[in-house]
Structure 1
Amino acid sequence: MAELVEITAADDPRLADYRDLRDVELRKHLEAEHGLFLAEGEKVVRRAVAAGYSPRSFLMAPKWLDGLADVLASSEAPCYVMPERLAEEVTGFHVHRGALASLQRRPLPSVTEVLEGARSVLVLEDVVDHTNVGAVFRSGAALGFDAVLLAPRCADPLYRRSIKVAMGTVFSVPWTRLPDWYDALPSLSALGFTTVALTLAPDAVPIEEAVAGLDRVALVLGSEGHGLSTRWQEAADRRAVIPMSAGVDSLNVAAASAVACYVTARR
């Protein structure tokens, strides 16, 4: 059972995992150095622990203890208990979703492991906003996609904001990073997937037409600013567009992923 540890000072060294959460660069450094990530909120903490991630510690106010009593009972990690005002001082924001947990990362699986048995896959190139990465995961999970592959420069799905927006689906959808950017799409084609790139290229066809009748599909989405690189547009087996009206040429990548996943799931 988790040991309940009362904390009375924001500078307590045991709280290092939770300090200054708003500083993205600081968090990236700390999480990479120590192999940890943070989960926020009762549902997300539950999903992380249920997925097999090992807690390093928990942080919560006394009123939140009952809601996660069963999780705490199954863990040997310490639970730091403090007033809400102190938790806010430590983290730099109002911890309004009930709890925080620091958990140990696991080695990423190989692409082969992630794709085993998969028929519908999302592939992200240089999506650098954590909120968008989380939203794409949530759409993929909700619409039955089997896996997510990320190019090397994509934002971290285990960053706190990504996990929060994804509502913990980063723990249920298999994912990993692609080891090679240049030949990533031809490699997927060689594995039996038809790669369908969302793009405004002149030869792009409506998404319904592009995915119709396909068995194994890898739906490819690009960065927030410029979309897919020329290399990935040209390397894709098919190029697809979501038809627009009223002079609008594109959607935010998070919205586009939801529409494209919906159509692809019903192919």
Structure 2
Amino acid sequence: MPEPGPSVVEIDDPADPRLADYRDLRDVQLRRLLEVEHGLFLAEGEKVVRRAVEAGYAPRSFLMAPRWVDGLADVLATTTAPCYVLAETLVEQVTGFHVHRGALASMHRRPLPSVAEVLDGASSVLVLEDVVDHTNVGAIFRSGAALGFDAVLLAPRTADPLYRRAVKVGMGAVFSVPWTRLPEWRDALPALSAAGFTTVALTLADDAVPLEDAVRGLDRVALVLGSEGHGLSRAWQDAADRRAIIPMAAGVDSLNVAAASAVACYVTARR
């Protein structure tokens, strides 16, 4: 491990106030309030921390056990943000869980771009309405990134894609796929249609057609997915240009939204 210098600080007290960004990471409600108030988010794991920094997010600080410092030495060399080094048992006391991938970073959030900026040059877009589970949001971002989608738009109540769990599950895809929140929920789909996208809602509606048929030949497409419990609202189903379904075997009517997004992205990418 490098000798402690201006950016590497060894700490032996888990109550040290400099570690405030990393406390109680299991408490979702507390973390939401803290992260919004201070404009930060947490990246977990060497790969995710590296991707966040490479994407241009500015670190506030790092927290890691001694054995992980060398692996991130090149990242630490790019910033003056402090790296707090603690024994692994103490890291667990601070965060409330075992950090399996060794490293955490507290990062500054950036102002969200406008919808127009996110859509500029895009041809394949994911639109999420009230997907409230952070794991699902992270998995959807990962599917979109892996299958060549250009952007993600989030309705106001959709879970934060920069929440630690979402970032981790998505393997940092939120750093590579442009995204923003929709300022106006009710008129969002007509606005996308006016911008040249064909909006395709995944739904069990009676007039839904197989997804492959719905997206065939489309130039610019926006796939619209709804919440884990009730799916898309009636307003968004009615507002979509097309309604589509992923055909299922008898006795099963739908997939988890994260699994559905992977299938839908695959089919749409090959339209």
In the TM superposition, residue 96 of structure 1 has moved relative to its aligned partner by 1.1
Q: Which amino acid aligns with 2:161?
A: P
The Cα offsets for residues 39-69 of structure 1, whole Å up to 9 and x where unpaired, read as 0000000000000000000000111001000
Q: Which amino acid aligns with 1:96?
A: H
Answering whether residue 37 of structure 2 is matched by residue 47 of structure 1, we say: no
- 1:90 aligns to what? 94
Answering whether residue 149 of structure 2 is matched by residue 145 of structure 1, we say: yes
Looking at structure 2, the residues matched to 253 and 121 of structure 1 have their Cα atoms a distance apart, in angstroms, of: 16
Aligned counterpart for 2:205 among listed residues 194, 197, 201: 201
Partner secondary structure for residue 79 of structure 2: coil
Q: Which amino acid aligns with 1:22?
A: R
Looking at structure 1, the residues matched to 191 and 165 of structure 2 have their Cα atoms a distance apart, in angstroms, of: 31
Which runs of 5 or more residues in structure 1 are unaligned? none
In the TM superposition, residue 3 of structure 1 has moved relative to its aligned partner by 1.0
Identity %: 82
Looking at structure 2, the residues matched to 59 and 160 of structure 1 have their Cα atoms a distance apart, in angstroms, of: 14
Aligned counterpart for 2:36 among listed residues 32, 36, 43: 32
Partner secondary structure for residue 209 of structure 1: helix
* Change in CA separation of 1:187 and 1:178 when aligned onto 2, cut-off 3 Å: same
- 1:128 aligns to what? 132
The Cα offsets for residues 86-106 of structure 1, whole Å up to 9 and x where unpaired, read as 000000000110200000000
In the TM superposition, residue 246 of structure 1 has moved relative to its aligned partner by 2.8
- 2:263 aligns to what? 259
Partner secondary structure for residue 102 of structure 1: strand
Which runs of 5 or more residues in structure 2 are unaligned? none
Number of residue pairs the alignment of both structures matches? 267
RMSD: 0.7
Aligned counterpart for 2:177 among listed residues 173, 184, 205: 173
Looking at structure 2, the residues matched to 148 and 2 of structure 1 have their Cα atoms a distance apart, in angstroms, of: 39
- 1:11 aligns to what? 15
Partner secondary structure for residue 268 of structure 2: helix
Aligned counterpart for 1:101 among listed residues 89, 96, 105: 105
The Cα offsets for residues 118-145 of structure 1, whole Å up to 9 and x where unpaired, read as 0000000000000000000000000000
Runs of 4+ in 1 over 2 A off after TM superposition: none
The Cα offsets for residues 159-200 of structure 1, whole Å up to 9 and x where unpaired, read as 000000000010000000000000000000000000000000
- 2:223 aligns to what? 219
Structure 1 residues 152-163: aligned runs within 5 Å: 152-163=156-167
- 1:184 aligns to what? 188
In the TM superposition, residue 231 of structure 1 has moved relative to its aligned partner by 0.1
Looking at structure 1, the residues matched to 54 and 253 of structure 2 have their Cα atoms a distance apart, in angstroms, of: 41
Partner secondary structure for residue 76 of structure 1: coil
Q: Which amino acid aligns with 1:235?
A: A
Aligned counterpart for 1:65 among listed residues 65, 69, 76: 69
Looking at structure 2, the residues matched to 34 and 2 of structure 1 have their Cα atoms a distance apart, in angstroms, of: 24
Looking at structure 1, the residues matched to 259 and 6 of structure 2 have their Cα atoms a distance apart, in angstroms, of: 40
Q: Which amino acid aligns with 1:195?
A: T
Looking at structure 2, the residues matched to 134 and 60 of structure 1 have their Cα atoms a distance apart, in angstroms, of: 23
Cα pair 1:54 1:104 within 8 Å, conserved: yes
